[in-house]
A and B are shown apart, each in its own frame.
Chain A
Amino acid sequence: MEIDLLVIGGGPAGLSAAITAAELAHSVLIVDENPKLGGQLIKQTHKFFGSESNYCGIRGIDIAEILEDKVNKLGITKHLESTVVGIYEDGVAIASEQALRVVHPKKIIIATGARENMLSFVNNDLPGVYGAGAVQTLVNVYGVLPGKRALMVGSGNIGLIVSYQLMQAGVEVVAILEALDHVGGYEVHAAKVKRLGIPILLRHTIKSAIGNDKVEAAVITKLDEHWQPIPGSERELNVDFICLAVGLSPSYELAAQAGAKIVYIPELGGWLPWHKPNLETSVSGLYVAGDAAGVEEAVSALLEGKIAAADASNSIKENKYAQKLVETTQKELQEFRAGKFGKKIIEGKRKLYASLHL
């Protein structure tokens, strides 16, 4: 199959890239492992944050519907329940249960998102220890509860939002632990969980999970100012599952396999494909966008997808309109990051661009 653009991943970054390229009259194929487009959005039942023009105040699940609608109206080809398993010089391999296909795109955008981080503690592999996003999927997508009493580790936005959503679904969140001396996420989200009476324990962490074949309790401990557990401060909590909300790391595996240079930038979530401000990696014609290009937010994922697609369009065939779109969208992204929470990302991207000569 000959196509202009292959988009790997159907989250906000990939959808926005596919829509942009199709609007610029390119042939596009979008591939996602799931039976439904939307990426992380399909489990986000809360209203979004962001600028007016970018779906502020709309629930994540509804944003996914709006984008999917556009994809369908534009007649973009999609392969769902399909996984891109390798990017080679003579083609890209896509596997589904029925077939292994090879496609030959002119340009590729990797928008594979991020994966949840593990934390080291005793018995962290016990069934009943979940990533917070996994629990969000179970509860909000499938309507299935993994237990009755939860411990949340981490008070960033994900920890706060998932705690709130668990309470909505009838689960008791016994406590939210935070190793820092302050809450990590936005004040609005913190206020919502505090109103429900969930205690946020600052300078606390998890020491172990207890149980035979399944979590039956958790031991937590206080931390001193050097992040060391304070002996004698341990407490056992009666919980039947544990959620880890301790950050995400970019899913960079495909980019690495394709030969793109991978760099380590803590501000962006750790290892990720090096890329330019137009989101092209060190491999010509191979782009990254969204969480795969640094863990951030849905709004920036949308904007990055647009920039990558417009730039790819311009390099397939020079065109003023696409060039202009790259510039205006880059400006919009800059403005979006100018807020209080964009600082870390700006610093991370600065380091990234500076690490060009590796």
Chain B
Amino acid sequence: MRITEHPIIKFKRGRKVTIYFEGKPIEAYEGESVAAALIAAGIYVFRYSPRHKRARGLFCAIGKCSSCLMQIDGKPNQMACMVHVRDGMRVRRQKGKGVLDGN
């Protein structure tokens, strides 16, 4: 969910771009983190843990806890809270430790 009206903050959103989550197009704005774009689109599960395959999502949002590791443009272990969206970016849920997909 995105806030459209706020009593004291004016959100200056960047240019509208499209990112692909598990192949599905999602609307995002330049200047925002992958995590913010996903949560705005109602996506909360970012990866599954290696051993017990438990769902994990965003926790700290400042690059310190590693809860939000995803597969971004083929690279595993990317912090969705620190990586910013780019037009055409491909984002996947990371399963376990993740693998390099060769792209």
Contacts and interface: CB of A to CB of B under 8 A. Distances in A.
Interface of A: 33-35, 45, 83, 113, 115-116, 125-131, 133-135, 137-148, 168-170, 212-214, 251
Contacts of A212: 55
A165 B59 CA distance: 18
Nearest to A211: B55
Contact of B59 (A35, A134, A168): A134
Interface in B39-82: 39-40, 44-46, 49, 54-65, 67, 81-82
B36 interface: yes
A9 to B, nearest CB: 11
Given A45-B9, A115-B62, A134-B60, A143 B44 contact: no
Contacts of B63: 33, 83
B45 A144 contact: no
B45 A127 contact: yes
A213 B61 contact: no
Nearest to A136: B61
B61 A138 contact: yes
B57 A35 contact: no
Contacts of A146: 39, 44, 58
B29 to A, nearest CB: 9
Contacts of B11: 142-143
A251 B60 CA distance: 13
A134 B62 contact: yes
Given A133-B60, A139-B3, A148-B1, 15 more contacts: A125-B54, A127-B45, A127-B56, A128-B57, A131-B60, A131-B65, A137-B61, A142-B32, A142-B36, A143-B11, A144-B2, A146-B39, A168-B7, A169-B3, A214-B45
Contacts, number: 101
Contacts of B54: 125
B6 interface: yes
A134 B81 CA distance: 9
Contact of B56 (A125, A134, A143): A125
17 contacts: A33-B63, A33-B82, A35-B31, A35-B84, A115-B65, A127-B45, A127-B55, A131-B61, A138-B35, A144-B36, A144-B39, A145-B1, A145-B2, A146-B39, A147-B1, A169-B6, A170-B3
A320 B44 CA distance: 56
Most A CB contacts (10 A, CB to CB) among B6, B35, B84 go to B6
Contacts of B46: 127
Nearest 8 pairs of A and B residues by beta carbon? A127-B57, A134-B61, A143-B11, A142-B36, A115-B64, A127-B44, A143-B3, A145-B1
Contacts of A144: 1-3, 32, 36, 39-40
